[in-house]
Amino acid sequence: MTTLPVADQVAAAVARAAGYPRLRYMGSKYRLVPELARVFAEVGGDTAVDAFCGSGVVAYTLKAMGYRVTANDFLNFPAVIAAATVANQTERLSDVDVELICGPPADDRDFIRSTFDGLYFDPSDRAFLDSAWSHIDGLTGGRRALAISALVLSAARKQPRGVFTVTDRRYDDGRRDLRLPMREHFRERVAAYNAVVFDSGRPSLARHGNVATLDGRYDLAYLDPPYAPPRDDNCYIKRYHFLEGLSVYWRGQQIMAGTRTKKLAKKHTPFSYRHSVTGALRATFERFADSTIVLSYSSNAVPDAETIAAELRAVKDTVEVVRIEHRYSFGTHAAATRRQAGEYLFIGR
């Protein structure tokens, strides 16, 4: 077996990750993949955890670099996307699967069509989501995860700005993504997810749970927690409740009565509040004290960089800070200045 030089390995992993289907997700690190891959290559190791995996693009990059990866998030839809793209090594949806899911419904369920009437999408798109789920319920394993991921990405792409905080069409700029019927989106998104499935030969896992309950030992721990913003809020459920509900067909989920957007209850995370973020980071650093920690951090977040470095130094011998220019792929008007904030990587060894 020939072993590629490190720079070529990094370039190959970055090229692979470039094909990863794009979900518009708050704080996603698609654009940081080349820098992250270089840092990961320098750190080395055999096992890696992406403890706050979100869109999954970093966990997928780690897989492409040959790590045995554990991808974790406390929301379900990121965990399902990681199950499809990181944990899944060989399964793909066949043309027959896609034709079945896009064909006539297997039953007469109408939860999405009726619950979100007048709020999101047109009736035929909502009917397709119900109908698709009537078939997805018959799938298991990697094919089920792929089908749910494609459905989630279809809904995200068809929603103006990809967020479910608004129920009108004020952000409708007539893009193709907004005009394409949901069923056609689904066919395209399946093709995109199928295309990134590959067998790394290194068993990987996707996990849905709180970082505080994540066990195991990892050579590399990549941490990209949500941080407390100086103003505004960073609630993922407020923005993505529809995708979270869709990923389980709202089973076991409770829509909050009286909410205009029919959102799900906020999921508490200590990382999002000024009073609890430092303690939560400390506990997380202690948890991964025997891993090399690579932490993503944005300069306008709370706590400040000095506090982060001090907390990291409490468990690590050396702490290196790398500054990267980066603009978030997501932002509201209020976040316009925040988007230009400096992006850092803290590396604790």
Site of interaction with ligand SAM (CB under 6 A): 25, 27-29, 52-55, 57-58, 73-75, 78, 210-211, 224-226, 236, 269, 271
Nearer to ligand SAM, 31 or 313 (CB): 31
Nearer to ligand SAM, 52 or 116 (CB): 52
Least separation in angstroms between residue 54's CB and ligand SAM is: 3
* Whole-number Å distance between alpha carbons of 301 and 45: 30
Scored b (16 or more CB within 10 A) or e, 5-31 reads eeeebbeebbebbeebbbbbbbbbbbb
The C-alpha angle with vertex 109 and arms to 103 and 114, in degrees rounded to 5, equals 110
Least separation in angstroms between residue 144's CB and ligand SAM is: 21
Least separation in angstroms between residue 187's CB and ligand SAM is: 24
Least separation in angstroms between residue 270's CB and ligand SAM is: 7
Nearer to ligand SAM, 17 or 139 (CB): 17
Least separation in angstroms between residue 126's CB and ligand SAM is: 25
Nearer to ligand SAM, 185 or 287 (CB): 287
Strand residue runs (E) in 53-186: 68-73
Give me the DSSP letters along 40-92: HHHH--SEEEETT-TTSHHHHHHHHTT-EEEEEESSHHHHHHHIIIII-SS--
Largest CA distance in the chain: 62
Least separation in angstroms between residue 183's CB and ligand SAM is: 27
Nearer to ligand SAM, 49 or 211 (CB): 211
Nearer to ligand SAM, 121 or 222 (CB): 222
Nearer to ligand SAM, 48 or 101 (CB): 48
Quick one: tokens of 256?
């909050």
Least separation in angstroms between residue 23's CB and ligand SAM is: 8
Nearer to ligand SAM, 131 or 269 (CB): 269
* Whole-number Å distance between alpha carbons of 130 and 3: 48
* Whole-number Å distance between alpha carbons of 302 and 156: 29
Least separation in angstroms between residue 45's CB and ligand SAM is: 19
Q: Do 42 and 325 touch, CB atoms closer than 8 A?
A: no
* Whole-number Å distance between alpha carbons of 296 and 202: 25
Quick one: tokens of 311?
């907390």
* CB-based contacts of 72, cutoff 8 Å, min separation 6: 49, 50, 51, 52, 53, 79, 206, 207, 208, 209, 211, 214
Quick one: tokens of 327?
């603009």
